[in-house]
């Protein structure tokens, strides 16, 4: 089983980005927040959130499965706006984008403490970029609290316990970007006997 649990980090800052144009576009979302409720319905800890997927990838992917990106064709404009961030992270990690979505957490709501256990969630490098937030939003990884400022790109260790609290009076919107390392795409990490299973 793949895990990042033993990697010695809770958070890693991967830079700061100007997300003002992205924020302007996100503010135009209305019905978009309710078109895909799969994340909220399949994961009870996310029941208070709303999501808009830009790219998707099946969560039940295993290490022997091919990389298959799902592109939301209705989000072409947003794909162009986030392209510089995605390309930076792909180059930094040596991989390709996986799930990429906006997550809205209303005021005075929370995401319960949980760990991510499936192969996809442990193989990918997961990043959060605050688009809209307030000083009373706290992200927790391994009990370590962090208020992520707008535009900061934080990789989180989602193999460890993590949670979110929005104790403020305004909603919090994050851009989540997963990067699938090339070794899991080309299967170069597998031993010869494991390659035979494919």
Mean of the per-residue pLDDT values of the chain: 95
pLDDT of residue 1: 73
pTM, full prediction: 0.95
Distance CA 128, CA 122 (A): 15
CA distance 167 to 145: 13
Sign of CA dihedral 34, 38, 39, 45: positive
Residues in the chain: 198
The C-alpha atoms of residue 187 and residue 176 are separated, in whole angstroms, by 25
Pair 154, 146: CB distance under 8 Å:
yes
Q: What is the pLDDT of residue 192?
A: 66
CA angle 103-108-111, nearest 5°? 45
pLDDT tens sequence across 51-79: 999 999 999 999 999 999 999 999 999 99
Delineate the domains of the chain, giving CATH numbers in brackets: 11-184 (2.60.120.10)
| β-bridge mates for residue 104, sequence order | 50, 173
pLDDT for the residue numbered 189: 83
| Per-residue model confidence as pLDDT tens for the chain (198 residues) | 789 999 999 999 999 999 999 999 999 999 999 999 999 999 999 999 999 999 999 999 999 999 999 999 999 999 999 999 999 999 999 999 999 999 999 999 999 999 999 999 999 999 999 999 999 999 999 999 999 999 999 999 999 999 999 999 999 999 999 999 999 999 988 876 565 555
Give which of 186, 122, 120 is closest to 157, Cα–Cα: 122
Query: What's the confidence (pLDDT) of residue 190?
Result: 83
Residues 89 and 177: beta-carbon distance below 8 Å = yes
């Amino acid at each position: 089983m793949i895990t990042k649990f033993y990697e010695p980090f809770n958070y890693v800052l991967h830079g700061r980005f100007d997300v003002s144009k992205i924020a302007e576009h996100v503010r135009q979302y209305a019905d978009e927040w309710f078109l895909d409720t799969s994340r909220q319905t399949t994961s009870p800890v996310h029941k208070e959130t709303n999501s808009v997927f830009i790219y998707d990838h099946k969560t039940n992917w295993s290490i022997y499965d091919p990389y298959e990106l799902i592109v939301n064709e209705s989000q072409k404009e947003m794909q162009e706006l986030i392209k510089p961030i995605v390309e930076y992270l792909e180059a930094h990690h040596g991989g390709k984008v996986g799930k990429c979505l906006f997550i809205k957490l209303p005021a005075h709501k929370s995401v319960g403490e949980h760990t991510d256990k499936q192969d996809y969630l442990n193989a990918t490098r997961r990043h959060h970029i605050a688009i809209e937030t307030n000083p009373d939003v706290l992200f927790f990884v391994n009990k370590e609290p962090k208020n992520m400022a707008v535009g900061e790109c934080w990789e989180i260790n989602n193999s460890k316990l993590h949670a979110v609290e929005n104790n403020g009076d305004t909603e919090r919107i994050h851009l989540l970007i997963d990067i699938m390392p090339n070794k899991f795409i080309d299967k170069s990490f597998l031993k010869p006997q494991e390659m035979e299973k494919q």
